[in-house]
Amino acid sequence: MTPAEQLAKQRLAEDEAALTGAKRRSTSLGDAAKDFWRHPSPWLIGALLACAATTRGLVGDWRLSDLWTPLVMLAVFPFFEWAVHVCVLHWRPRQVGRVTIDPLLSRKHRAHHIDPRDVPLVFIPWRVHLWLVPLIVAIGLLAFPRAGLGLTFMTLVGLLGLGYEWTHYLIHSDYRPRSRVYRAIWRNHRLHHYKNEHYWFTVTSSGTADRALGTCPTPSQVETSPTVRNLHSQEADQVN
């Protein structure tokens, strides 16, 4: 580890300790998994995954495109994750006439930055799934040339969505990183929450879309943002 990386690690630990204090403790992976399944979002995504995968198996009609679709989706996902984080989750409320455009996802995410350890705020709000799941099904049924390929798409969306929720939850839980890969992902997202909200936007990977799109600077060269817990310098929203 270089001196710059050691300094960045020290500063990150100091920033996190200042925010979480004595509440920080360690938990096992099993206990984290039990808590994960107490929330509605994993079940809703899991239901989509189970239905799509089961129907895909019954439909059959396997072709080479069923292999290429997952490969393309896996390659694109970090960039999709980055774009949603930047353009939707960090959306700045806008006034159009008498109407304030401020989506639920954006409001919930601002609340998530205010208190990163509030577990329900880690997950995609269940009300979002009421339109998101039907949208994914509609895309799968209407945007692909055959039913099998659309079901492959829906299955992969379920897997990626469940992977996203699990990774995001685990990062904000008291589970401590053990593997080198997970430690890098854990550190990347905590830098976003505890160092500077203008960088490190990917959640399920590190050094992918952020590096390609210029939002993965050397932590020691980035100042701690005064608005990292109060996006857009606004007061906490009343989120219902």
Gap between the Cα atoms of 121 and 115, Å rounded: 8
pLDDT at position 236 is: 41
What is the DSSP track for 67-78?
HHHHHHHHHHHH
Q: Is the pLDDT of residue 61 over 80?
A: yes
E strands within 28-117?
A: 94-96, 99-101
Residue 212 DSSP one-character state: H
Query: Of the given ranges (100-104, 179-183, 235-239), which has the lowest mean pLDDT?
Result: 235-239
Q: What are the tens digits of pLDDT across the range 126-162?
A: 999 999 999 999 999 999 999 999 999 999 999 999 9
**Rounded to two decimals, what is the model's pTM?**
0.86
Task: Return the bridge partners of 94, or none.
Answer: 101
Q: Is the pLDDT of residue 19 over 60?
A: no
- Residue 96's SS3 state is strand
The CB-side HSE value for 65 (13 A sphere, CA atoms) comes to 12
Q: Is the pLDDT of residue 227 over 60?
A: yes
Gap between the Cα atoms of 172 and 6, Å rounded: 22
| Number of neighbouring beta carbons within 10 Å of residue 44 | 22
Q: Is the pLDDT of residue 4 over 70?
A: no
Q: How confident is the model at residue 232 (pLDDT cuts 50, 70, 90)?
A: confident
Closest CA to 209 of 181, 185, 193, 231: 185
pLDDT averaged over every residue in the chain: 89
pLDDT at position 159 is: 98
* 81's tokens: 């994750």
pLDDT at position 87 is: 96
Position 216, amino acid: C
Query: Exposed/middle/buried for 117, CB within 10 Å: 0-12, 13-18, 19+?
Result: middle
pLDDT at position 207 is: 86
Is residue 144 within 8 A of residue 35, CB to CB? The reply is: no
Q: Is the pLDDT of residue 3 over 90?
A: no
pLDDT at position 235 is: 44
Q: Is the pLDDT of residue 17 over 90?
A: no
Gap between the Cα atoms of 58 and 67, Å rounded: 17
Q: How confident is the model at residue 166 (pLDDT cuts 50, 70, 90)?
A: very high
